[in-house]
């Protein structure tokens, strides 16, 4: 009796081992990563069980419902007779299934069951490329800081009352007495920052593309009288095509350049000559309008 039980157990172990050998084996490392962090996916299979494995093309792939936003990028892939290795980077946060599928011996399409959790790599304190002015800090005791603050508030209130008194007692507007420095428009600020950036020999492609995008938005807004600051890249270039005499193919090239350089995780460098050429192209176009 014991011998028969032992034979049955061995038989089930052997069948289970054959079943495992026939199935494809997936692995992902790490299973929890950050935005723009490299993720390695591996798939191994039996030649008789898997007939065709499909992977996305090399390069950047965009979200279907938001074609301006990069979803993931294939950095590297190596496919052999019974194994596959793919390196991904994801550019949006969330939980995603690895976008790979294959066909088994019965012609049934099987999708990857591996999931990857992507979290943000940007600190919550990072507010973007704009310059950030740190808050004023005071030293000393609490009452000393409070006294300084109250004195400052009192000075501002007194100055406001004095200015209002002058304004109401004269027939001339206040700016006839106090000369106010003219304020720069946004487009002038972006043009100044671009010129400062172009003084460098090697220029960050990400910084340049962001400033150039802001410059194009403000210029087109000033000329058309419509707000473009909230437009996505796709909406912006569709607007340029509708409002100004641009060639469609030409705008597509510029859209692809700005999108790739702004969102690519590794920051490449542009030569001073290349960046100047691109900026002068847009400056020349707007100066003719």
pLDDT tens digits along 123-146: 555 554 444 444 445 455 667 778
State the Cα torsion 195-197-200-201 to the nearest 10°.
-90
pLDDT band of 273, cuts 50, 70, 90: very high
| pLDDT for the residue 24 | 77
Question: What angle do helix axes 205-224 and 272-288 make, rounded to 10 degrees?
Answer: 0
Give yes or no for a contact between 208 and 202, defined as CB atoms under 8 angstroms apart: no
pLDDT value at position 244?
Answer: 84
What is the reported pLDDT for 157? 93
All structural domains of the chain with their residue ranges: 22-119, 186-288
**Reduced to 3 states, what is the DSSP secondary structure of residue 43?**
strand
b/e 247-277 (16+ beta carbons within 10 angstroms → b): eeeebeebbeebbebbbbeeeeebeeeebee
pTM of the model: 0.40
Calculate mean pLDDT across residues 91-110. 88
Taking domain 22-119, whether its CATH number is 1.20.1070.10 is answered by: no
Whether pLDDT at 215 is above 60: yes
Residue 133 confidence (pLDDT): 44
Neighbours of 210 (CB within 10 A): 19
Residue 9 dihedral angles phi and psi, to the nearest 5°? -60, -45
- Higher model confidence: residue 115 or residue 190? 115
For the chain, what is the mean pLDDT?
78
What pLDDT, on a 0 to 100 scale, did the predictor assign at position 168?
76
DSSP 172: S
> Is pLDDT larger for residue 255 or for residue 176?
255
Instruction: Quick: pLDDT tens for 229-251.
Output: 788 888 888 888 888 888 888 88
- Distance between CA atoms of residues 162 and 167, nearest Å: 9
pLDDT average, residue stretch 185-197 = 86
pLDDT of residue 17: 45
C-alpha 207/C-alpha 201 separation (Å) is 14
Report, as an integer, the average pLDDT of 22-31.
82
Question: Smallest Cα–Cα separation from 90: which of 68, 64, 60?
Answer: 60
Top mean-pLDDT range of 175-184, 249-258, 264-273? 249-258
Q: Between these two residues, 253 and 47, which has the higher pLDDT value? A: 253
What residues contact 100, with CB distance under 8 A and at least 6 apart? 41, 43, 53, 54, 55, 56, 84, 86, 111, 112
Cβ neighbours for 135, distance < 8 A, ≥ 6 positions apart:
none
Lowest mean pLDDT among 59-73, 102-116, 208-222, 266-280: 59-73
Helix (H) or strand (E) holding 88: strand 83-90
**Tally: H helices and E strands in the chain:** 7, 13
Average pLDDT over every residue of 143-167: 84
Q: Flag the least confident range among 38-52, 180-194, 258-272.
A: 180-194
């Amino acid at each position: 009796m014991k011998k028969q039980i032992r034979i049955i157990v061995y038989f089930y172990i052997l069948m289970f081992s054959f079943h495992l050998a026939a199935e494809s084996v997936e692995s992902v490392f790490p299973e929890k990563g950050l935005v723009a962090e490299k993720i390695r996916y591996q798939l191994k299979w039996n030649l008789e069980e898997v007939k065709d494995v499909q992977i996305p093309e090399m390069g950047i792939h965009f979200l279907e419902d938001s074609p301006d936003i990069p979803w993931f990028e294939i950095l590297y892939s190596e496919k052999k007779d019974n194994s596959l290795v793919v390196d991904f980077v994801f550019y949006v946060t969330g939980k995603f299934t690895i976008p790979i599928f294959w066909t088994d011996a019965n012609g049934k399409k099987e999708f990857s069951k591996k999931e990857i959790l992507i979290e943000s790599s940007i600190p919550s304190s990072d507010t973007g490329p704009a310059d950030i002015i740190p808050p004023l800090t005071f030293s000393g005791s609490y009452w000393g800081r409070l006294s300084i603050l109250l004195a400052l508030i009192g000075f501002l209130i007194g100055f406001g009352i004095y200015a209002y008194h002058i304004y109401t007692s004269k027939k001339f507007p206040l700016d006839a007495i106090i000369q106010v420095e003219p304020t720069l428009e946004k487009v002038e600020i972006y043009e100044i920052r671009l010129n400062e950036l172009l003084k460098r020999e090697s220029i960050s492609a990400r910084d340049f593309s962001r400033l150039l995008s802001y410059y194009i938005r403000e210029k087109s807004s000033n000329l058309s009288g419509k707000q473009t600051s909230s437009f996505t890249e796709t909406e912006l270039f569709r607007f340029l095509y509708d409002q100004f005499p641009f060639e469609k193919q030409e705008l597509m090239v510029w859209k692809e350049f700005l999108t790739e350089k702004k969102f690519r995780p590794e920051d490449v460098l542009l030569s001073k000559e290349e960046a100047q050429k691109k900026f002068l192209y847009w400056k020349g176009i707007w100066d003719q309008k």
